[in-house]
Structure 1
Amino acid sequence: MSPRSCFLGVLAVLCVLTCLYSHGHPVAPGDTHLMLCQPHTRCGDKFYDPLQYCCYDDAVVPLGRSRRCGNCTFRVCFEQCCPWSFLVKLRSQKCSSAQTSDDRVCD
């Protein structure tokens, strides 16, 4: 190995180390960026964290968002309003399925 190539190798290592350590500690990205280690799901063309949001009518909404259904309020991320019967059911149930003890009638 020639002295010149050894010198260039040391300079390359120093350059890389200087770049790595010149910016201080790594900074976590803001709310507009996704972190790869967090769970994420798509809603239309947007990604969201399912631990904080859900997809409702192709929009990302907070888990606590609610809407009216007759004289009741339902949580859009967990329940659905069956408008022709003013019945609130879990999102996993079909509006056409038989009424269960978990359903709420909202005249």
Structure 2
Amino acid sequence: MTPRCYVLVAWAVLCVFTLLCSHGAPVSPTGAHLMLCQSHTRCGDKFYDPQQHCCYDDAVVKLSETRKCGNCTFRVCFEQCCPWSFKSEETFLVKVKSQNCSSGLFSDDRVCSR
């Protein structure tokens, strides 16, 4: 190559480098989640982000979703509504999902009347 070609190549590299750097650091769009390396969780035939949703009765629901359990409400992603008989009266218990409905009454259980 002639010295003139080296100058043109250096000038072209400098222009391309300046053009690429003038846009700043790449930024992801607002609200976008990088899910390439995260595990995907399925609920039926749908995928969902377990940091924002859970699967309840084969439906994807928000973590803040609540439902009625007798005269109480329970958070469907974290709790469950269990039928419970107490002194021949049909009532309900709200229990943490990790507990079995047939297990005894725990201090963090909530008793809900019909």
Q: Same fold (TM over 0.5)?
A: yes
Q: 1:46 offset after TM fit, Å? A: 0.9
Structure 1 position 47, deviation (Å) = 0.8
Counting aligned pairs with the same residue, the percent is: 74
How does the TM-score come out when normalised to structure 2? 0.62
The residue matched to 2:98 in structure 1 has which SS?
A: coil
Gap regions ≥5 residues in structure 2: 1-25, 85-90
The structure with the larger Rg is: 2
Q: Which amino acid aligns with 2:42?
A: R
Alpha-carbon distance in structure 1 between the residues aligned to 2:106 and 2:28? 49
Per-residue CA deviation, residues 69-103 of structure 1 (Å, 9 max, x unaligned), is: 01101000000000344100001111000110010
**Residue type matched to 1:42 in 2?**
R
Number of equivalences: 83
TM-score normalised according to structure 1 size: 0.66
Task: State which of 87, 94, 98 in structure 1 corresponds to 2:100.
Answer: 94
What amino acid is aligned across from residue 44 of structure 1 in structure 2? G
- C-alpha change, 1:78 and 1:89, in structure 2 (3 Å) is same
Structure with the largest fraction of strand: 2
Structure 1: stretches of 5+ with no match in the other structure: 1-24
4+ aligned runs moved over 4 Å, structure 1: 25-28
Deviation at 1:26, TM superposition (A): 8.9
Is the deviation greater in 46-55 or in 79-88?
Answer: 79-88
